[in-house]
Structure 1
């Protein structure tokens, strides 16, 4: 659990500042579950430059509560939370100063979104909150007021959590809140999990991730883990201490995140999933007569394929369908072995490429249309899919045929501005598995929105 904080102060000498406004959003990693926003009477003068910056003046604070009147609420809402702020050192110091004046030793773990942003979103022109969120296309209102800045920090932190594929942030959180004893039937864990599409992380008592999985229904999948009787399920049941999750909305995003994070984190019980599950691929070659032939073969990462499959039967079924759809020759597609004409020609469904009756130019035009549709070699495009919320979409970026990463957007501006999109996305490795996942998903989901760009 996180307490995302922003504080406005009077300004003045170091450690003599007073709080004029405070906003705290309690954030569970997915949504805000509680909040506290209040003006505070600092009982001291406000520096003129601060009045100009924030618009908060002494007259506004005359009837506001003094710090000791809101101190209890601050302690309660931040209890068992990691304090998150943009320049956390400043906000934590100010809170500590105010509490020391009351004779109370206020201690919390902290996370700084400035430092996290420098690590996870490098090469930004500025890491000030206003300029950073603007460059990322994150909407912000009431700039330099505690509530507006804290809410912008919530949105920024949500983006940083998604970019943290090594899961360092969440593992530190789990270590802080580890529980020594679990309900015997795992009901406590299941109660915290939603029935949504996403990626889930099973942690041991030390907070380490021991298993990463993907599901269209996280709660249902974890229930299967907890009631399973095979050896892996029993080992997970014995070692599990906590389960965290990341909602993705899109099954494609969940598949890509699972693939990336298993390779990065190498969890103890994910050994089988480190191997490729795409065993066969569709390849093309030009024969001695100039016709493009198609061939199903064992997947080979050294050769460029059109698309990939989990088994030979799946590949053959796909090829049979596209031969009919594009009116291709069964012989040149490798589906009908013969030295003469194919069966489709005999029933007048093939134009005769198998016996050179149709010209290579005419035939290859249809084959290239098939290849163009199912391969993204040298393509620049964004695949748009479901997001985590109704008003959000996921975006998977392909540049020059290379998978660059994925992210979530709320505005068309973020999709159409390639520089903003590149800042928002979580960079991911363009490995063979990622390419297989994307091709397989696009092939099966014909209603996906795909935006091509130069």
Structure 2
């Protein structure tokens, strides 16, 4: 038996502007439409002993279950999702949103984004999928009580339009407000993770985001710096909810009464000058352990081995004896100074060269007198070693502790970066 039921439903609330633009249905059109409880009995009758077929079945099924739950009725049906089926039976499609998928398959659609038009298009798509599944095993295996998560078509469309590049992305609500800013080496993949995530933050994004804009940076360092500044400037609600200081500890140095330079990892207070900063004490200690090995430093003078006599490394002949004043302070301090010079850009004039947005482009991050000034992009045909030329291409940015931490952390992790020292 074939039956049909089409009706507008009064949601008893105002229709959001983006829904009006998408469907053409406004609050005035729904004023005299039946409320859900008035059509609930008909929905139960027409779907009883049937399998609910829908494009992104989880979305439609969740709405029906929620509305019936408000009425105190346990609505349960077996479901089939044509998004899931299409991915199995027609792989490698550019998009699995209903509009783009049926267009690519030559299925005519009328009244797009209206229930009747979309339902008829889904019926035609389902018939095509039934024919594709010659053994009927795939469709049989896809029938389930709780549909698998499938991204909503509007979110699929957003992801489809994003590139797989490094940069900063902005998530907008329907009124244009930015509610989240992020950075990624692959914007498309990262946004897709947000839209398929199950965390409370991801679910808020899935329900509120109607557009994602982006800015290419090429360089991950530039993306990190821009993300940090943009979050401070825009204060997006979903960044504020989880925002914390990105560093907690720092590497400090001091000269003891015997004239030896000592190193220590302490909480970053922002008041005294530090060498470099870390997200946790553990990451700072791990860095210092590696530096002790690399520069043959004393464990005791690096704060890694508490003792009133010699350190453990001295006992196994890996320390020259600075811990017991056996190695002269002048000789020991030269090695410590090499470490300080490499990982601190205090009072330095330099340019960090990183990837650009195109193959023949590079990014330049300018440090002047130990202060981060900003970044810019230049063509590989130009020589970037003149401060006056650099200042013309640089976009000024604020120098703060977060930016210093980002740069120092990036320099530690990317040892092959090209750095030009300026006079």
Q: Same fold (TM over 0.5)?
A: yes
2:266 corresponds to: 297
Distance 1:419 1:204 in 2: 42
Equivalent residue for 2:184? 215
Query: Residue 348 of structure 2 is aligned with which of 356, 379, 387?
Result: 379
Q: 1:316 & 1:275 partners in 2: Cα distance?
A: 21
Q: Distance in 1 between matches of 2:324 and 2:203?
A: 61
Shift of 1:414: 5.7
Matched, 1:442 2:411: yes
Aligned to 1:330: 299
Structure 1 distance, partners of 2:360, 2:187, is: 22
Report how far residue 315 of structure 1 moved. Answer: 1.1
Aligned to 1:288: 257
Q: Which residue of 1 aligns with 2:143?
A: none
Mark the structure with the bigger radius of gyration. Answer: 2
Q: What do residues 175-203 of structure 1 show as CA deviations (whole Å, max 9, x unaligned)?
A: xxxxx999635111011101111110001
Q: Post-superposition shift, 1:397?
A: 0.3
| Structure 2 residue 164 is the aligned partner of structure 1 residue 195 | yes
Decide whether the 8 Å contact of 1:201 with 1:213 is kept in 2: yes
Residue in structure 1 matched with residue 145 of structure 2 by the alignment: none
Q: Conserved in 2, the CA contact under 8 Å of 1:414 and 1:420? A: no
Q: How far does the alpha carbon of each residue in 1:251-295 deviate from its partner, in whole angstroms, 9 at most, with x for none?
A: 111100000111111112111564312111111111111100000
* Counterpart for residue 398 of structure 2: 429
Residue 279 of structure 1 is matched in structure 2 by 248
Match of 2:74 in 1: none
1:54 aligns to what? none
- Structure 1, residues 64-120: CA drift from partner, whole Å, max 9, x if none? xxxxxxxxxxxxxxxxxxxxxxxxxxxxxxxxxxxxxxxxxxxxxxxxxxxxxxxxx
Instruction: Kindly indicate whether residue 339 of structure 2 is the aligned counterpart of residue 370 of structure 1.
Output: yes
After TM superposition, list the pairs within 5 Å mapping 1:172-191 onto structure 2: 184=153, 186-191=155-160
3-state DSSP class of the match of 1:285?
Answer: strand
Q: Given that residues 252 and 266 in structure 2 are in contact (C-alpha distance below 8 angstroms), is that contact kept between their aligned partners in structure 1?
A: yes
Q: Does the CA-based 8 Å contact 1:263-1:274 persist in structure 2?
A: no
The one of 380, 383, 408 aligned to 2:377: 408
Separation in structure 1 between the aligned mates of residue 323 and residue 203 of structure 2, nearest angstrom: 57
**Per-residue deviation at 1:216?**
1.3
* Structure 2 residue 217 is matched with structure 1 residue 224: no
Pick from 205, 222, 231: which aligns with 2:174? 205
Query: Is the CA contact (8 Å cut-off) linking 2:275 and 2:340 kept in structure 1?
Result: yes
Note the alpha carbon deviations across 1:99-142, whole angstroms, 9 max, x for none: xxxxxxxxxxxxxxxxxxxxxxxxxxxxxxxxxxxxxxxxxxxx
Give the secondary structure class of the aligned counterpart of 1:409.
strand
Per the normalisation by structure 1, the TM-score is 0.59
Correspondence 1:321 to 2:290: yes
For 2:205, the equivalent position in structure 1 comes to: 236
Distance 2:358 2:398 in 1: 26
Cα drift, residue 215 of structure 1 = 0.9
Distance in 1 (CA, whole Å) between partners of 2:327 and 2:183 is 48
- Following TM superposition, by how much is the alpha carbon of 1:412 offset from its aligned partner in structure 2, in angstroms? 5.3
Structural mapping, 1:264-275, within 5 Å: 264-272=233-241, 274-275=243-244
- 1:83 alignment counterpart: none
DSSP-derived class of the 1:229 partner: coil
Which secondary structure state, in structure 2, belongs to the residue aligned with residue 234 of structure 1?
helix
Question: Partners of 2:417 and 2:325 in 1: how far apart?
Answer: 37
Root-mean-square deviation (Å): 1.7
Alignment gaps of 5+ in structure 2: 1-112, 115-150
Secondary structure of the 1:275 match is coil
Unaligned runs of 5+ in 1: 1-179
CA shift in 2, pair 1:426/1:196, >3 Å? same
Q: Residue 239 of structure 1: CA displacement?
A: 1.4
The alignment partner of 1:398 has SS state of strand
Find the residue that maps to 1:277 and give its secondary structure.
coil
2:410 aligned counterpart, secondary structure: helix
